[in-house]
A and B are shown apart, each in its own frame.
Chain A
Amino acid sequence: MTTNVPAVDTHVAEPTSGRKNFLNCSSGFMSWAGTLDHKRIGLMYLVGVSIAFLCGGLFALLVRLHLWSPEGALFANADYNQIFTLHGAFMVFLFVIPAIPGSLGNMVLPLMLGAKDVALPRLNLLSFYLWCSGAVMATLAIILGGFDTGWTFYAPYSIYTDKAVVSIGLGIFLLGFSSIFTGLNFIVTVHKLRAPGLTWFRMPLFVWALYATSILQVLATPVLGITVLLVAFERLYNIGIFDPRLGGDPVLFEHFFWFYSHPAVYIMVLPAFGIVSELVSVHSRKPLFGYKLIAFSSLAIAIISFLVWGHHMFTSGQSTYAMFAFSFLTFFVAIPTAIKEFSWVATIWKGSIALNSPMLYTLAFLIIFAIGGLTGVILGALNVDIHLHDTYFVVAHFHYVMMGSIALAFFAGLHHWWPKMFGVMYNETLAKIACGIIFIGFNTTFLPQFIMGSRGMPRRYATYVPEYAPYHHASTIGAVILGLGIALMVYYLVASLFSGKRAMQNQWGGVTLDWHTPTPPPLENFDHSPSVTTEVYDYSVLDLETTRTPAS
């Protein structure tokens, strides 16, 4: 072992089996429900967001099956409105926004910083329970009659509908504060709990990405909070500011909503960028190309994302002058995003690429995100968007980003840190097959939607003219394939917990601090507080012995 490596020589100092880790150091319901340990909270988040994802996926399948026939195969039109609203609301608020920061971020961020925990562990547990209460409120809203406004809750319809909008609105308020507190915690942790020697430019890029995400969570989410409260007030005592009958302006609602929800797109996607940045480096065993560029582009995206929200409102009745400005500013987002995409590809170039399942998911991300990102540039153009607004082109675009990019990056991260979290390996063969099925299923679902959207198929309609039937058929078949792929993934991941092979201490040969602690990590993460003397992603210090030593 070289002197450069942080002094956590796990495989020498301790017997490798039977030592206590965060999973088995205590047991019983309260040792989990009342835990302050970031790793256990991360795992609880993982269970929660996975359930939300499977629910949201089920709703998506119902939507796709309904659209098999032009007159709608399964539901009455009003019920269809509820199903796609549930799909959107569950996926956005309960899964995509909290998924990566809540589960993988919580698990990995303190490890990567060499800290014992996040800076504010009680607040961390509180944000998990806020997430839970948000989920309860969402479920309660379904019981109380559902909601049919779409996940965007546009006024004035959200004021007039007789569905349970107040309940889901309060749910989103709680989920918003859950997200805020996670972001707040991460910012403080990054500022105050870095190990000695871990300077800003030695931090892994996943940490940088989470840091940029946290800024957005803290600064944008409160506006969503007040917006849903104001909608609730509209319904409770007709405050009137979003209600045109009372002199209010529904466009103001859209301003408020997108002031949050556009940055929220980056709350969702920046952590995914972070995971991809980590994984392309580790699985190519090569330092990242353009480390500082990627780090600063995360911050640049965070800032620019506050200036472009009006591009969601090109057909809202917003002033033409505002639309010019918003459309113009939108193109600037493409610059830091493209910097990232090129840097990742340049990192892989001539690397020692290992096509492990996490890397396969990452490569799938790179392809899908290129399509998702570039179609976003098309939609940012004012005149083109007037035509494409509220068509399936938009649906396909944001699914290429949210499902194809963010969910796939989440899967990639999950496969990457799975051996770290549990000390076991899933079936790699099945994982590679599942990745292929998911990639094929995803593209079969959403590529046809670009075409039918550009030909005028509006989103959110329960029925359609028969000319669109072939595209809808292809899309529905793709959705079923995608569902099967995800079911296979869930199967082998869960099975690995019961019958998986022992993972290695350092399964993939990573050199960031998260791989310099025993696997699975002990309660306070490090046996000895680490200090850092080497640059980040310096694979010359990798101790290959750790990649051959079984996890404890």
Chain B
Amino acid sequence: MSASNDNAGHGHTASGHDAHGHGELQMGHHHVSSSAMFLNVLIALLILTAITVGASRIDFGSANLLIAMAIASVKASLVIAFFMHVKWDTAINKIVFLSSFLFLSLLFIFTLADQATRRMDDQALTTKTPVDKQWVHPSTLAEQKQ
């Protein structure tokens, strides 16, 4: 919430505002990236796609999902930082976009934690009347225990 680029009050002029030197009658804040940089990002993204496919062919057990998500996150970061220009965007725009991921992670953490620890509840309850290894619908668990 710094006043410098956040508080665009009525009195501001365009030119007093931006390091990229443009006239008052322009929109401000346009960072023009070089074509070469865009091409490099594209190549990196395509290589990472190949890597993620390759990694999925190898069996790392339960780590496969984590590896795939890690590579996807790197790819997403490249798209966000360069294609979406977030690297050069204002602080508030960065905060807004990144906070959406932060709050989304709350949804993930609590729902998945509930689901995972519920199974711990189930196991604690089923040790006395062991169910065979066949898959059992959760709603029928209660009946089986009786």
Chain A residues with a Cβ under 8 A of chain B = 114-115, 191-200, 219-220, 223, 244, 247, 249, 251-252, 255-256, 259, 306-307, 309-310, 317-322, 325-326, 529, 531
Contact = CB atoms under 8 A, between A and B. Distances in A.
B118 interface: yes
Query: Which 4 A-B pairs rank lowest in CB-CB distance, beginning with the nearest?
Result: A319-B118, A322-B114, A196-B11, A319-B117
Given A194-B9, A320-B121, A307 B106 contact: yes
Contacts of B3: 199
A214 B137 CA distance: 41
B138 interface: yes
Contacts of A197: 9
B113 interface: yes
A255 B111 contact: yes
Contacts of A322: 110, 113-114, 117-118
Given A200-B7, A219-B103, A220-B103, 11 more contacts: A195-B9, A197-B9, A244-B138, A255-B111, A256-B107, A310-B110, A310-B114, A318-B118, A319-B113, A319-B115, A531-B11
B139 interface: yes
Contacts of B138: 244, 249
Q: Max chain B CB contacts within 10 Å: which of A115, A198, A320?
A: A320
A196 B113 contact: no
A6 to B, nearest CB: 12
Given A191-B92, A247-B137, A319-B117, A196 B111 contact: no
A200 B137 contact: no
Given A320-B121, A322-B113, A322-B117, A195 B10 contact: yes
Contacts of A249: 115, 138
Interface of B: 1, 3, 6-11, 92, 99-100, 103, 106-107, 110-111, 113-118, 120-121, 137-139
A337 to B, nearest CB: 20
Contacts of A193: 10
A321 B113 contact: yes
Contacts of A259: 106-107
16 contacts: A194-B7, A194-B9, A199-B3, A219-B99, A247-B137, A249-B115, A249-B138, A252-B111, A255-B107, A307-B106, A307-B110, A318-B114, A319-B114, A319-B118, A322-B113, A325-B110
A306 B111 CA distance: 13
Nearest to A193: B10
A249 B111 CA distance: 12
Contacts of A199: 3, 7
B106 A306 contact: yes
Given A194-B7, A195-B9, A195-B10, A255 B110 contact: yes
Contacts of A251: 114
Contact of A223 (B7, B11, B107, B114): B107
B27 to A, nearest CB: 13
Q: Max chain B CB contacts within 10 Å: which of A191, A195, A223, A326?
A: A191
Contacts of A198: 9
Nearest to B90: A191
A42 to B, nearest CB: 22
A198 B116 CA distance: 49
A317 B117 CA distance: 12
Contacts of A223: 107
B6 A191 contact: yes
B145 to A, nearest CB: 14
Nearest to A322: B114
A319 B120 contact: yes
Contacts of B117: 319-322
B141 to A, nearest CB: 11
B103 A306 contact: yes
A306 B110 CA distance: 10
A200 B111 CA distance: 36
A255 B111 CA distance: 7
Nearest to A308: B110
A220 B104 CA distance: 9
A244 B139 contact: yes
A319 B103 CA distance: 22
